[in-house]
Amino acid sequence: MKLRSERDSLVEALSVSGRAVGTRTLGSAVLSGVLLETSGNSLTVTGTDLDLTIQVTTEVIGVEDGSCVVPAKVAADVVRSLEPGAVTLSCTEDTVEISAARNNTTLRSFPVVEFPAVGQPGEKILDLPAKSLSEGLRQVTKAASSDDARPLLTGILLTEESGEVRLVATDSYRLAMRDLLETTGSAITSDILVPARALAELQRAPTTGGGDGVVEVFSSSSEITFKYGGLRISTRLLEGKYPDYRQLIPDSYPNELHLGKESLLSALKRVRLLARDNTTPVRLSMRSGGVDLSVVSQEIGDSNETVDGDFSGDEITVAFNPSYLIDGVDAVISDEVIIEAADSGQPATVRGAERDDYRYLLMPVRVS
């Protein structure tokens, strides 16, 4: 195999696919590598940890068809460090040679036959608009759990809501959901639980960042595949029954607070500086005319700030984990944020005033 490529497109292909490569080396050594396949002027780079597979196809100048498996991290680092311009990559049976300008690097490669074969994606089920998918993922992924002891909660639920697709994530302290409008294709007939890690990769892939077009979704009983442009991400699905989140959404709230998103967000970030760790809550005292924010840390000191706004209901004080609250407010796509609360032991809701496709449920911190 031999090819020539612009440095930048090669770096992108190597590093994006390399993110599927596990840091744990429990499996065979070949899994620390990415598979490069050239056919004509098309290069496909594949990385996998057997659960998650990321494949990037990009255009190069193909000199000779073929394939090789290169160590993912060091190859990406080497190519990234080269001067901008053309890079030549050529393989022998057990090495790969990277050359550009006056640098020449030879890396040991892994046997191609040992690299796991990438299966065919399942049946196509959906087209999702890339822009709103990327936006929705940004809104919900943070609410997913990173605790492997609760595997179900490390997933993002794709479920059907009034004929559209809804994304749901929760770590049991907060729950974020986003409805994706304008989806096409057959609707989601049964809930799909996708590891958040895979969707985070889909969201951060540069080609999906706010781009136009659609993301094609394929699914089989145990796997889901997303295709967008030259990017293909496949992941094993999580199995089990997701909590019945609909039961948690209150029908109505007695207290409602309207605030400017940016002023609330920057005030929260200022008072959070005084939080000693995750256990220091921010108190929100809601009253007519706005809200008083307060963080008190015994050893450090305290910080208070008032944010003006409109409030209807009874005066109430509720405490939250400041970072969780910031995540929820930050995800609102609207100039005005609405916080709804019942009492200091019930979940509050954060949403945007102008759009009702996003909702963030947050459980308070009980202070005693």
Smallest separation (angstroms) from other proteins to the CB of 42: 37
Q: Which residues contact 368 (CB under 8 A, 6 or more apart)?
A: none
Decide whether 226 or 358 has the Cβ nearer to other proteins. 358
Rounded (5°) CA angle 87-209-176? 140
Distance CA 272, CA 282 (A): 7
> Which class for 170: exposed (0-12), middle (13-18), buried (19 or more C-beta within 10 A)?
buried
- Specify whether the CB–CB gap between 47 and 17 falls below 8 A: yes
User: Considering beta carbons, is residue 181 or 367 the nearer one to other proteins?
Assistant: 367
CB 135, min distance to other proteins, A = 24
Give least dist CB 41 to other proteins, A. Answer: 40
Cβ at position 278, least distance to other proteins in Å: 8
Nearer to other proteins, 186 or 298 (CB): 298
The residue count for the chain: 368
The CB-of-245 to other proteins minimum distance in angstroms stands at: 9
Cα–Cα dist 202/193, whole Å: 15
Q: Which is nearer to other proteins, 243 or 313 (CB)?
A: 243
Sites of contact with other proteins (CB under 8 A): 26, 170, 172-175, 243-244, 247-248, 279-281, 296, 298, 319, 321, 345, 347, 361, 363-368
Cβ proximity to other proteins, 205 vs 295, nearer residue: 295
Q: Which is nearer to other proteins, 56 or 143 (CB)?
A: 143
Of the pair 239, 315, the CB lying nearest other proteins is at 239
- Evaluated on CA atoms 317, 336, 261, 362, the torsion sign reads positive
Q: What angle do CA 32, 79, 90 make, to 5 degrees?
A: 80
Task: Please compute Rg for the chain using Cα positions.
Answer: 24
Neighbours of 162 (CB within 10 A): 6
Distance from C-alpha of 13 to C-alpha of 363, rounded to nearest angstrom = 41
Shorter beta-carbon distance to other proteins: residue 15 or 349: 349
CB of 111 to other proteins, least distance (A): 24
Minimum CB distance to other proteins smaller for 69 or for 348? 348
| Shortest reach from residue 368's CB to other proteins, in Å | 5
Q: Where does residue 150 rank: exposed (0-12), middle (13-18), buried (19+ CB within 10 A)? A: exposed
Q: Is 42 helix (H, G, I), strand (E, B) or coil?
A: strand
Q: Rounded to the nearest whole angstrom, what is the least distance from the CB of residue 282 to other proteins in the complex?
A: 11
- Count of beta carbons in the 10 Å neighbourhood of residue 223: 18
Shortest CB 302 distance to other proteins, Å: 12
Sheet holding 301-312: strands in order across? 192-195, 155-161, 164-170, 174-180, 358-362, 348-352, 336-341, 255-260, 301-312, 290-297, 282-287, 316-320
